[in-house]
Structure 1
Amino acid sequence: MEKQIINTQDAPAPIGPYNQAVKAGNMLFVSGQIALHPETNQLVKENIMDETHQVMQNIKHILSAAHMDFSDVVKATIFITDMNNFSQVNEVYGKYFSGHFPARETVQVSALPKAVNVEISVIAAK
């Protein structure tokens, strides 16, 4: 099976030894995204909803670079540092899907890179 590296300038560059996504066969594995704005490289942290929206926009651009979209997402993992933010994160996240939602888990963690409040990774298939 051929492995293809997916990187786009429309999403933040990786901050460590990983790629934005890897495509293997018909599967796309998108690395966890945080609320880094790709043009300014600044964190979007005004509030949890804006932060989540930026994360989802980053994922959207990576999916697009692989000729996919949110309808192709089969699995998502959400990491949040405060479960009290769950409903707000869920509200923003839900707006990116129409009808058929992917499988998902949401996990509270003690800390995330760059002290962000939310990180989301997805797996897509086409």
Structure 2
Amino acid sequence: MPKEAIIPPGTGVPLAPYVPGTIADGVIYVSGTLAFDKDNNVVHVGDAAAQTRHVLTTIKGVIEAGGGTMDDVTFNQIFVKDWADYKAINAVYAEFFPGVKPARYCIQCGLVKPDALVEIASTAHVGKKG
């Protein structure tokens, strides 16, 4: 099955060997996304809601570059640094998914940079190209 990388314009160079998204057989897989600027610096330090908004806006850009919308998201994997931020993260998350919610899980763990508070990876079904 062929796959294509999705790299929206203005995307920074990833910290490791991956791309922001991949599409294969009508499914977009969005890599774990943190609140990074184009130079991989954490933005909105200390503000979980603002970081979540940045992360979901970045994910939206990847999905749209692959021909989809946030309504196509079927599954999210959410990683939080501290459960104290869970309520703020969910408030912003609900804004991005107002209709039928995607399935998801959420775990607490350490993230790649100490100032990062949330990371989200997404899967979206957009149909087959062609």
TM-score, L = length of structure 2: 0.89
Number of aligned pairs?
A: 124
2:97 is matched with: 97
SS at match of 1:77: strand
Deviation >6 Å, runs of 4+ = none
CA-to-partner distance for each residue in 1:39-90, whole Å, 9 max, x for gaps? Answer: x643212411111111111101111110111100000010001111111101
AA at the equivalent of 1:122: S
Return the alpha-carbon distance in structure 2 between the equivalents of residues 97 and 113 of structure 1. 26
TM-score w.r.t. the length of structure 1 is 0.91
Moved more, 95-104 or 4-13: 4-13
Is the 1:33–1:55 Cα contact (8 Å) retained in structure 2? yes
Counterpart secondary structure, 2:106: strand
Letter aligned with residue 43 of structure 1: V
Question: Separation in 1 of the partners of 2:10 and 2:96?
Answer: 17
2:22/2:30 contact within 8 Å kept:
yes
Residue 42 of structure 1 corresponds to which residue in structure 2? 41
RMSD: 1.4
CA deviation after TM superposition for structure 1 residue 98, in Å: 2.5
Tell me, which stretches of 5 or more residues in structure 2 are unaligned?
Answer: none
Once the two structures are superposed, the pairs formed by residues 69-88 of structure 1 within 5 Å of their partners are: 69-88=69-88
